[in-house]
Every structure is written in C-alpha cells, then in structure tokens.
Structure 1
Amino acid sequence: MRFLPVLFFSFLLVFTSSCKKSKNESVSSFDTLVWSDEFDNSGAIDSTKWFHQTQLPAGGDWYGGLINHYTNRLENTFVKDGFLNLVAKKEVFNDQGEIKNYTSARLNSKFAFTYGKVEVRVKLPTGIGTWPAIWMLNKNIDEPGAYWEKQGYGTTYWPVCGEIDILEHWGGKQNRIQSAVHTGSSAGDDVVNVGGRIIENVSNEFHIYELEWDENKMIFSVDGIEHYTYKPEIKNADTWPFTSDQYLLLNIAIEPDIDPSFEESAMVVDYIRVYQ
C-alpha cells in the first residue's frame, strides 16, 4: 500500500506530460514572420507592399452589381497614428467614363505565398449595404486590372483559380462575420463551403481575424476561437485549387441596398501579418 502514492504520482506525471505534448502538437507550426504591414508610416499606403486596384470590369460595374468606384486617393486610403484607414464615402465620382455615387478602395498585396498563417487586427465599418472583406485570390486569376494579372500571371478564370475569404461582413447583418472558400464546385451565391458566427462590437472594437492554411485544410478563427474549417475529403481541381501562391485583398464594397443616410465609414486596420 505504501507504494500507491508513488505510483499515483508517477501516473500523474505521465498524464500531465502527455497532455502537454498533445497541446503543443496542436499549436500552429507557422511561427516565422515572412511579411507584414504594421502601418507605422503616415499618409499614403506603402506602395512597395500594396497596389490600388481601380480598373472597372467590362460593363462598367464591379462584380455582384456593386455601385461604387474604387480609387487610389488619400480620401479613401490613408495611414494615420499607426492605422490603415480604408474609407467608403458617399460622393459623386466620375472615373473611366462612369459616374457613381460612392467611392472606396480595393487593395492587392504585392506579396503572394503558399501555405501559412494570416493575422489581421481590424475594426469594421458600419452601414446597411456596406460589404467589407479581407480575402485572398490565386495570383493566376485572369482579372484585368489586378496587380498580378498586370505582371503576366493571369491564366485562370474565377472561381477555378480559388478564393479564400478570411473575413466578410454585411452591414445589414451587423456583428455577424463569415468566412468562405470559393472553388469550381462551390462559388458565388451557391457557395457551400462557408461558416461564421456573431462577434460583439466588430465595428467598435478591434478583433484578430486569422487563417491557417496548409496542404490539407484551412482553419478560420476570430480572437483564437475557430468558427470554420475547410478540409475536403476529395482534393482535386474542383475542390482544392490551393496549392500555389495567393495574394491578399482588402476592400469595402457598396451594394445597391446601401442605406440612403450613409455618408462615410472606415475599415481600420492595426496590422496584417503572415507567418510560415
């Protein structure tokens, strides 16, 4: 009987060690910072890291019937006090032969990568009809006016190229955030690879939105709490076109149901970091 406390203590040590190992094994292996923007400058965004995508698609409107122009002006994109301000505004703006009543910005990163972890600390805009997003596209997308298409990489049409939506938010569903994966088998209004949840105060407080992407799966989370995992059992060109470089996009789209009283609102970004 006198050996029981010793045996119990030994068992406890083994059990504790096993638990620690299991916990450590679940920690992301992406721990080396390979690219970031801390927005420590002032004024215009860093043009070595970002490209303003402003060219309208054929037909004069952005996909999905959006009613805004994207511009490269300081009024719509500027850095101040350590934060990126991406601003949607109600204003009459004439560009590329098209007059629209709203402006915003759409940024493409000049950095692209395969597999890693993305962290974005951000506050979101408000207003019914606003549609802010932080997302990714394969740099092979054939989209006139996109940065990587201009570099000669555009070979593949959407959604076959693959799209990763780290964060989407619709002003008509305030505080509900969503993540989605668009592929040849699940895209647009028929996307089924989607998940989300309610996050309090997404427009009044900063939250950290995160994607972990490896060769098998994608995990989406907010403030360290997972809300969606994409891990198709069968991986082929229709379900998993995610084996090559993707780049980051930030934008605020304006939908036709925009609140008539909307004047201006901003996506405020503290930092964007990519780890591998």
Structure 2
Amino acid sequence: MNKTMKHTRNTKTLLFMSFLLIAVLVISSCDTEETQTVATFKELVMADEFDTDGAPNSAIWNYDIGDGTANGLPAGWGNGELQYYTDRSDNVTVQNGLLIITAKQESFGNSNYTSARLLTKGKFEQTYGRFEARIRLPNGKGLWPAFWLLGDDSNGTEIWPQIGEIDIMEYVGDEPSTVFGTVHGPGYSGGESISKSYKLDNDRFDNGFHIFGVEWGPDYINWYVDDVLYNQLTPEDVPGEWVFNRGPFYIILNVAVGGALPGSPNEETVFPQTMLVDYVRVYKQ
C-alpha cells in the first residue's frame, strides 16, 4: 500500500472490517484453552502519519540520547548494547511519508554504532487502548528493533520493572520471519519475562510493511500482527503483580545494536540498516 492509498482509504470502514476479521480469527489464531477478550477501540486519539519531511514532530516525540549512562543505567542501556542514540538526521528523519530510524557503523561518543530511540514520554501517554504501527523491519545479526510501551516512572519515584513494560513488537535481525510480544513486571522481567512469538509462513518482516499492535484493557493484553490475534495475557498468566492497570504508558520506537538478546553484529551484518515506520496510531474505546 503506498502513502496515497493510505490517505484515500475509508479508515472507519477498514477498521470495522478488521475487527470483524479478528472475531473470526480468535479461535483459529490462539490456543484453544485460552478465553479471549477482544475489544473494539474505535476512537482515534493520536496519530502520526509522518507526512512532513524533516525532524519528527516535536509535539509528539522526544529522544533518548547517549549510551544509557545519562539515564542512570550502565553503558549499553542495561543490556550491554553497542549503539549511541542520537537525534541527528543521519539516524532519525522523516522523508516521503516515512519515519526512518537508521543504525550506522561509525565511531561516535565512545561507541562504534549509532542509532535512534524516540519516545512520547510527557507528550502522549495513555492507559488502555489499541496501539499500532505499520513498520518495515531491517535485517542482520545484532539488530534489535522494537515498538513498545513503558509505564511512567512518576518523575523517578518508581523504577523498572515495577512501572511495567509492554513490548508490542520485538525482533532480532537474524530471525527475519519471527517477531515476539512480551511483558515485564515485578517477578517476571529480563530473562524471566513473559513472551510469545509469531512467525510468518514463507515470508520475512524485512520484505515489506506489517501492522503490529496491542489491544490493552483492564486485566488483559492482546497482541496482533496484521490483525491476527496471536496471544493474550491476563493477571493469572504472570508470576507476580499485574502492573498494567496502574496508569498511563508512553510509546518507544528504537533500533538497538548488540546486547545480551540479539548478540553482536558479525561480518555478514550490513550497515547502514533502517527501520521504516509508515504510521503510529492510538485508539481508545
């Protein structure tokens, strides 16, 4: 779908049809022993269509800058990552209707890689709703793009994982057909997080755009790829406190390089690599 088509389609009609399709897919796409909750979030409350070339919309997006130490974390953002996040146009820009986040191999700020991490903290935060983005992913060993939600830390008075984290889409670049959705909270964070993957049949996520989303309501979170419901979690599914009814979460988009999860790039990893974002949209009921 090109950008012109996106602007001419009837969004309300398409959304209605999508939710009809979800109702059909609930049984076939999820484990039969799960009781699925499917909400209808119809009211669009935030959208960035990335229609204006240049820097991302400053009314919506902030940036994390550096190697993590400025955020009170060890170098590597607490995960041993190798990139230095910047707000330079080399690493993040809007062109031709797309947000482009570029990971580069270069010496910068005591790191050998640069990339970007955008967040809506303090500008757009919401409790519950449908959060979705249409994204084309990069590929290559050592790349770790993500689209995720993080609970507000109340100006530093609360810490992760107590604030909660909902990973709408994570992906490691050397497994180009698979994405996964995850939650982190007290008692189930880091390597003990609760996660489930979704795999494409005979295709790859770097070949084209796909819609990644969650529908989040009181006491449940549903994960979708292209409106296929592939997982649901409820308080009974986590071995600790359910912290996802506590208050608003904000959005993060980033491409990490290296770290404990994806491992480091190897000689076959080609740079630069880009994550292309067609839109980000948030709905409420």
Q: Give TM-score, length-normalised by structure 2.
A: 0.79
Counterpart residue number, 1:272? 280
* Total equivalences in the alignment: 240
Shift of 1:27: 6.0
Counterpart residue number, 1:168? 170
Q: Taking structure 1 as reference, are residues 123 and 216 closer, same or farther at Cα in structure 2, changes over 3 Å only?
A: same
Q: Is the 8 A contact 2:187 2:240 kept in 1?
A: no
When Rg is computed on C-alpha atoms for both structures, the one with the higher figure is: 1
- In structure 2, C-alpha distance between the alignment counterparts of 1:91 and 1:235, rounded to whole Å: 41
Query: Does 1:228 pair with 2:231?
Result: yes
Q: Taking structure 1 as reference, are residues 27 and 257 closer, same or farther at Cα in structure 2, changes over 3 Å only?
A: closer
Equivalent residue in structure 2 for 1:69, among 84, 106, 128 = 84
Counterpart residue number, 2:27? none
Equivalent residue in structure 2 for 1:114, among 113, 118, 127 = 127
Counterpart residue number, 1:126? 139
- In structure 2, C-alpha distance between the alignment counterparts of 1:242 and 1:154, rounded to whole Å: 19
- In structure 2, C-alpha distance between the alignment counterparts of 1:235 and 1:128, rounded to whole Å: 30
- In structure 1, C-alpha distance between the alignment counterparts of 2:237 and 2:78, rounded to whole Å: 30
In percent, how many aligned pairs have the same letter?
35
Q: Is the 8 A contact 1:70 1:104 kept in 2?
A: yes
- In structure 1, C-alpha distance between the alignment counterparts of 2:239 and 2:136, rounded to whole Å: 36
State how 1:136-147 maps to structure 2 within 5 Å.
Answer: 136-140=149-153
Counterpart residue number, 1:247? 250
Q: Is the 8 A contact 1:90 1:262 kept in 2?
A: no
Shift of 1:235: 8.4
State how 1:24-35 maps to structure 2 within 5 Å.
Answer: 28-35=39-46
Counterpart residue number, 1:144? none
- In structure 2, C-alpha distance between the alignment counterparts of 1:83 and 1:235, rounded to whole Å: 36
Give 5+ residue unaligned stretches, structure 2. 1-19, 25-36
- In structure 2, C-alpha distance between the alignment counterparts of 1:249 and 1:116, rounded to whole Å: 16
AA paired with 1:183?
G
Q: Give TM-score, length-normalised by structure 1.
A: 0.81
Equivalent residue in structure 1 for 2:48, among 37, 57, 77 = 37
Residues 66-125 of structure 1: per-residue CA shift (max 9 Å, x gap): 01100010000000110000111111112xxxx111000011112000010011100001
- In structure 2, C-alpha distance between the alignment counterparts of 1:243 and 1:213, rounded to whole Å: 13
Query: Does 1:51 pair with 2:51?
Result: no
Counterpart residue number, 1:195? 196
- In structure 1, C-alpha distance between the alignment counterparts of 2:146 and 2:282, rounded to whole Å: 17
Secondary structure in structure 2 of the residue aligned to 1:233: helix
Counterpart residue number, 1:88? 103
Query: Does 1:205 pair with 2:208?
Result: yes
Q: Is the 8 A contact 2:163 2:243 kept in 1?
A: no
Q: Is the 8 A contact 1:160 1:237 kept in 2?
A: no
